[in-house]
Each structure stands twice: as C-alpha cells, then as structure tokens.
Amino acid sequence: MRQRIGIMGGTFDPVHFGHLRAAEETVEALELDALYFTPAATPPHKGGKAILDFDHRRRMLELAIQDHPKFALSDIERKLPGKSYTVVTLRRLLQDWANGVDLYFLVGLDAFLELNTWWHFQELFELARMCVLRRPPYDETAIEAFLRSKVSPDYAWEPGAQAFAHPGLLPVHYLCNTHLEISSTRIRELVARGRSIRYLVPPQVMRYIFQNKLYAGWNAGVETVG
C-alpha cells in the first residue's frame, strides 16, 4: 500500500488548537500515515504584514506536536529558494519520496476559496488530494461552486467517499471536522491586549509566547475593541 502523507501549510503565527484538532481529525478520518506541518518561510499572501521569525514559528509548532506519533514538521519551505509556493513544495515532496506516496493537502475553507489566487493553482489538484477543513463562518456550498467554476465542471460529489470526484483529477475531500473558531490573528490580538490565550493554544506554546515576549507589541489595528 502506498503511504498516505498529509501536508498542512500555513503561517502558524502561532499554531493553535484550530490547526491541531483539524489535523488530528483528518489523520483519523483518512487514515493518513503521517502529517507534516510546513510553515511558510515567506508567505506570498501575507506580503506587507509583519510575520514572526520562521524560527519562532517553527519552535512553537515543534512544541505543539512533540508527543504526537504521526505529526512531524518539515522545513522544506525555508530550504526552497524564493517565496513559498505550495505547488513548488508539493512537487518537491513528491520527488523526494522516491517510492511514491499519495499526498493529502489540508486547507481550511477560507484559504481554499482563495486558491485561485495561488501560483499555478490548478496543478495542486494533480499533485495532491485537497482536504478542505470546515472553518466558520464560510459556507460549504461554496466548495462545489468553486471547483466547478475555477478548476473543472466535471467535479461531482460522491457521498460515500465524502469527496468530490473527477475523471482526470484527484478527488477533493471535505472533512466534517469540529468547528473551532480560533485564529492566529485573534491570538496575537489577545496577547497584545494582555488578555488570556489559555485553552486556545497548547500550554507549551503559551509559555513560549510569554517567555519570549512575542506579540506584545503587535498591532492589529483594532485597539479600540474591548
């Protein structure tokens, strides 16, 4: 049997239970052998906004996943030159696993609906099975509309497989993961305002943030809230 490898890209600034629980449920539902978190070195979509150092973001991920038998971290996006383009990362991972693996790329519904702005996005659907994670407040009916209009009109929902099937492209899975309305933006904002982030991130990550005085001066432009 070919290995089933999950890949979850993101900025992870910082990693939180929304990422981790969705990853856990995907590994279980799709019987993945391993899941690699691939923090983006220079995310093309966050241009303009200040992002924490790669090393801090990587360290927090390491702390969050250290006891998980199937979770791992890949530095690949830092090693690759230039901006972090997911297509390039996935091509490279497929080359590196010479024995052949099936790649599953986890993406939240918010990010999925913007995939058409990603570099060479249509190739994503040939390289990996997309696994779309539920994330409020987005509407799941948008997935099919997106696939049919932006990728191919031949996608059709297969209830048995919990996936959209296609005659020539890889299936797109839709996960029924627990809705957790947690975002890194919100966490940065809470820390900057001196509020608690307990139970939104793993305790080791919370300690790391405070020990290293991360996000204290972060400015979300929402100082008037609260």
10 binds ligand ATP (CB under 6 A): yes
State how far the alpha carbon of 22 is from the alpha carbons of 29, 59, 65, 179, in Å.
10, 20, 13, 9
Single out the residue of 125, 135, 169, 208 in contact with ligand ATP (rule: CB under 6 A).
135
- Cβ-based nearer residue to ligand ATP, 152 or 183: 183
Nearest residue to ligand ATP, using CB?
108
26 binds ligand ATP (CB under 6 A): no
66 binds ligand ATP (CB under 6 A): no
Intra-chain end-to-end CA distance of the chain, in Å: 53
Structure tokens at 113: 């609906």
Single out the residue of 3, 116, 149, 185 in contact with ligand ATP (rule: CB under 6 A).
185
Q: How many residues bind ligand ATP (CB under 6 A)?
A: 18
172 binds ligand ATP (CB under 6 A): no
Beta bridge partners of 156: 165
Structure tokens at 71: 């979770």
103 binds ligand ATP (CB under 6 A): no
DSSP 175: -
Cβ burial of 128 (10 Å; 0-12, 13-18, 19+) is buried
- Cβ-based nearer residue to ligand ATP, 39 or 163: 39
Give the whole-angstrom CA distance, residue 2 versus residue 30: 13
Which positions lie near ligand ATP, rule CB under 6 A?
10-13, 18-19, 22, 107-108, 110-111, 133, 135, 180, 182-185
